[in-house]
Chains A and B, each alone.
Chain A
Amino acid sequence: MKVEADVLEVARAASVPATAGRGRSLRVLLHNAVAALAVLAAWQVATWVVRSVFFPSPWQVARALVDLGLNGDVAGHTLLTHMWWSMARLAAGFLMGVLLGVPLGLLMGLYKPLYAGTRAALEPFRFIPPIAWIPLTIVLLSGFSRYVFLIWLGAFFPIFVATLVGVPRVEPIHKNVAKVHGAGRWYILRKVVIPSILPDILGGMRVGMGTAWMTIVAAEMSGGETTGLGRMMVNYAELIRIPEIVVGMILIGALGFAMNEVLLRIEQRLFRWRWEVTL
């Protein structure tokens, strides 16, 4: 058996991810910490230049953060409560987006006439931003159901479309491998189609998560309930208390970032078989 040349090649292939080890990830962490501090410093400098009572310093915002976290807002809700509700609504709407988007995308991807025949009825909805639905939903829905509906609208289409366009891109040869051995459609769907397009679906989920997160804030600002980060920001806007508004902004950014990172980690775990993981 002549395996030596192959072994060398294997060693070469395996060594690529190995170099991206501890040392490098620590350096990346350091770079990010420095960059974050630089933004903070620039902000501080800007407050010295602008000198407006409506432009808060990092220090004022930090105080507002601690105060909101410990003592709560004007209505007594703490930051944790606001965050919890925003996240709960997001999770519910996003989950519905996945549960409807993936099966519908699969179905329409597998049965092309179904998509071709409903295209004109379906596609225009994609171009109505979820925010444009707010006036209608204020009338028709209230509270939690309104928020979930709006988030679902935001999350659904990116997930649905990613699944839909992924299906025809499945390698025919990968399906043929199963067909030759007599596999049925159900086996091919579960063992070939879904693993093939899972990276597309996860990519769509990340885009959907982004849209959903933008939608939740706007949805909460539309009123209905007293909790949620968007609601909190509107409350403080009415009081012209800028530091608290900035606290809301920062938390929205940080939570969105954290959720995206979680999805990325899941992708990296799930798709170890892939040469590169998309960003």
Chain B
Amino acid sequence: MKLSVWTYEGPPHVGAIRVATGMKKVHLVLHAPQGDTYADLLFTMIERRNHRPPVTYTTFQARDLGSDTATLFKEACLEAYNRFKPDLLLVGASCTAELIQDDPGGLAEALGLPVPVVALELPSYQRKENFGADETFYQIVRKLAHPVERSTEITCNLIGPTALGFRHRDDIIEITKLLNELGVQVNVCAPMHASPEDIKNLGRAHFNVLMYPETGETACRHMERTLGLPFTKTIPIGVSATNEFVDEVFTLIDRSNSEGAIDSRLPWYSASVDSTYLTGKRVFIFGDGSHVMAAARIAKEEIGFDVVGVGCYNRELARPVRAMAKELGLDALITEDYLEVEATIADLSPELILGTQMERHIGKRLGIPCAVISAPVHVQDFPARYSPQMGAEGANVIFDTWVHPLVMGLEEHLLTMFREDFEFSDNAGPSHHAAHSPNQEIADHTATVSASDEGTNVIWLSEAEKELRKIPFFVRGKARRNTEKYASDRGVAQISIETLYEAKAHYAR
């Protein structure tokens, strides 16, 4: 039994719904109680989809348990088939139905429907949403995709995008454009946009582009074995990664790269004068493994941030995330415990968080700016405008979104110069977000006695406290923490102005 306040991933059947909802002419019959229909709102409200997910829930009740939930399932299956006439029927059980063991697969098979049926095994008490999506898509491919004749022109498949994916909608467009520029056409994009007929034609392509390992890797490995389709390993998020992705594609199609580097504004924006204010900003990165690894590289090499912590919630990618963290001289935080992530962030007090919807809330409470880089996300992360993460435009979008929550260079400069001026009240936060000024209660508590990590109390003398308040708010929390640590490390019981500046000099970068 595990106590959970908020979860990063839903149950595996939600992953199955993400696949079904992304596809066309597919219907999922889920053996589940009525409350599980909440999953529909993830798609219709958060993703703003204008269609109901293609899912029939059997919505059995307690009174059905004694009698015949299996019949209920069969009826629901038959009705769903007759009403929706899908080309492929998926059947599965949610956590509760898993316990009553009705065998949806066998029951559906027995109906003898004129379309293929894929029975999903979704172990609700062991696995989670990403597994559910990955497994569902793999089973569909295994059932329908068999070797077919290759296309004469060079084509590839885009593998991994699903409904409710973070920017999947726009990544598909961006990567398709990029591939077209390289002379490669897209054969099938799946699961998103694909029909069962398209799945049968996956083998026409010359290779696969694995866009999201979380939801497409098992299928890619299967197609490598059975259809002879190699797949790309680089996730094209960030300028360097996109360039490497292009190289990888050229290797796969056996051509040399005559294209040069991709055309993104990120390199110049990072190099421009204003961005010296970004240099060395301490960032904490958390999300799904793939996005975290991509983000860490961009943060370090393409913007010049100081990565002070990384981690992911999906254990499936724990190993590569750990390896990457090690290269950064860090220990990766692999956890799905929201409270643990929050504690780590509070402890590190970074200047920027790159995270998920959860970290956005952590940041809001701690007064630390946050940009979202990974699922789980909220309605505002499905913007109306085109905002991919991948490719050249993705790099532009990333630069903008990560820098947006920060006080910009010129502004930071002015604040430093005029911070005593009442019109520059630094509690106002970045001038471009009037409504979301960070919460100062935590970052700027006024108590003069602070308990340091060692449990000893450090006292702030009042002039030191006053001096601390003159420091701009966005570095004040860190200054306080550093000074207290500096003091307690040296057994200094009282913090004077002297101590404050000693500490500042000590931690100068």
The answer on A and B forming one complex is: no
A residues with a Cβ closer than 8 A to B are none
**Chain B positions near chain A (C-beta within 8 angstroms):** none
